[in-house]
Amino acid sequence: MQKTDIRGLYLITDGSRGEALCQRVEAALRGGVRVLQYRAKDLPEQEMYAEACQLRALCRSAGALFLINDSPELALACDADGVHLGQQDRPVAAARALLGPGKIIGTSNRTVAQAQASEAAGADYLAVGSMYPTATKGDAVHVGLDTLRAVREAVALPLVAIGGLDRDRTGEVLAAGADAVAVISAVLADPSPALAAAEIALQFNVRQPWPRGRVLTVAGSDSGGGAGIQADLKTVTLLGSYGMSVITALTAQNTCGVRAIHGVPADFVAQQLDAVLEDLAPEVVKTGMLHNAEMVRLVARRLAACGRLLVVDPVMVAKGGAALLQRDAVQACREELLPHCYLLTPNLPEAEILTGLPVRNEEDMARAALRLQEMGVRHVLMKGGHLEGEAVDLLRDGRGWQRFPAARISGRNTHGTGCTFSAAIAALLAQGRPLPAAVATAKQFITTAIERAVDLGAGHGPVNHFAAARQLGRMLQHPPG
């Protein structure tokens, strides 16, 4: 990587030590960290050197930059990519004399004048902050977004926003001109550093050209075209992302029902997964029909270590009543798939099967969502299409609750709503929208798709993906649809 590659998710170590730090950093790198800054002020010199070498090796393997906090000497000794200097550390010129022209030097800045002085002194990038109040550094001065915008206008160097940042604040600093977002506890203090890193790192996709974001769907084929792989790929493509597929089962079905199911052999599903993951680097993976326990276990194990956001639509029963998930697969879902799940999108009957709880109203939905989080799911979107009255969806995202109501739309053309809704969320996540915004926009999409559905076939017809994408494209003013 080059000096100009100070961009994306920038992680600063938090003072923890040893094997636990290396494990969490390795997970965060899988999730999308592009720059690591090693900070270990109180560690003896030899231990600091040994740990720095371990972390440097992890960064090299992941293709990420490795920087040392404050010490050009340590950066030189462990062959780091560069050093980050505070305002009270040695001047940029002194660090450059020691490190030479090929290493990266960054500085911390709170004002436009400091940023301009650092640029003039030969710094390669500038950190600006603290953007928000932060518990990580008690003496940090809160400078805010206006200062970041002013620095962006005044200098040409890459800018790293730092201080109090997390998933929900990343979009603001990117809009204000940041090239990178520095975090500490938002990733390293999270029980899943890989997922915490991924949900921040993906937000940098908002600057990518269309098609934006890569989505893999692992699901069954619907010969009628309204659900499954076909609905997923329509949705992903019409919303402006690049779609890939792994087919787990073939179905013979139309709008009147499922006539037959032919499971794809597990070893061939594994070959499909390996082929896509090794070459096309999907950023979000969405699962639908997994059919049997062997398939559930295979998919869970293959996806557990890849660091991608996993959106699970626990497809169990078709509209006409045909079972799409065998009984022995339910326990496999609970034990092996849910603990790796970034977002689970069950409807009420599916939530009942997975939790063993009755789910009849919003209070039941909330109770079931909490139970699912206890089972290892990071975020849960309870879909309320089976409620009486409003079609209310309830999101439990680890920070609290969000309610997404919509008027109930009467009609028979609702085939593929679950597949389409979860695929839309997956595409919007891949495009760089944080989870609450992705769910809200996907809710608009599926509501319009149901409203604009046209009669096809004699049974439960499909929703109108094309009309929904056109309507959403006009609202959001982007090319897809």
Q: Which residues are catalytic?
A: 383, 414, 416-419
Structure tokens given for 450:
């149901």
Q: In 247-394, which ranges are continuous DSSP H helix?
A: 266-279, 293-304, 327-332, 348-355, 362-374
| Torsion sign across C-alpha atoms 172, 176, 178, 182 | negative
Backbone angles phi, psi at 361, to 5 degrees: -150, 180
User: Which among 134, 149, 123, 118 has a CA at the least distance from the CA of 6?
Assistant: 123
Helix/strand/coil for 357: coil
* Contact call for residues 51 and 40 (beta carbons, < 8 A): yes
- Between the CA of residue 184 and those of 39, 218, 378, what are the distances in Å? 11, 33, 20
Three-state SS string over 431-456 comes to: CCCCHHHHHHHHHHHHHHHHHCCCCC
Up-side HSE of residue 65: CA atoms within 13 Å toward CB? 27
CA dist 346 and 232 (Å) reads: 16
CA dist 465 and 459 (Å) reads: 18
- Between the CA of residue 127 and those of 53, 85, 87, 131, 307, what are the distances in Å? 24, 10, 11, 10, 27
CA dist 417 and 415 (Å) reads: 6
* Contact call for residues 393 and 383 (beta carbons, < 8 A): yes
Q: Go through 5-27 and write b for each residue having 16 or more CB atoms within 10 A of its CB, e for each that does not.
A: bbbbbbbbbbeeeeeebbebbbb
CA dist 4 and 14 (Å) reads: 25
CA dist 28 and 342 (Å) reads: 15
Parallel, antiparallel or unpaired: strands 401-404 and 393-396: antiparallel
Greatest alpha-carbon pair distance for the chain in Å reads: 78
* Contact call for residues 147 and 115 (beta carbons, < 8 A): no
Of the chain, the end-to-end C-alpha distance in Å amounts to 36
Q: Go through 254-285 and write b for each residue having 16 or more CB atoms within 10 A of its CB, e for each that does not.
A: bbeebeebebbebeebbebbeebbeeeebbbb
* Contact call for residues 426 and 236 (beta carbons, < 8 A): yes
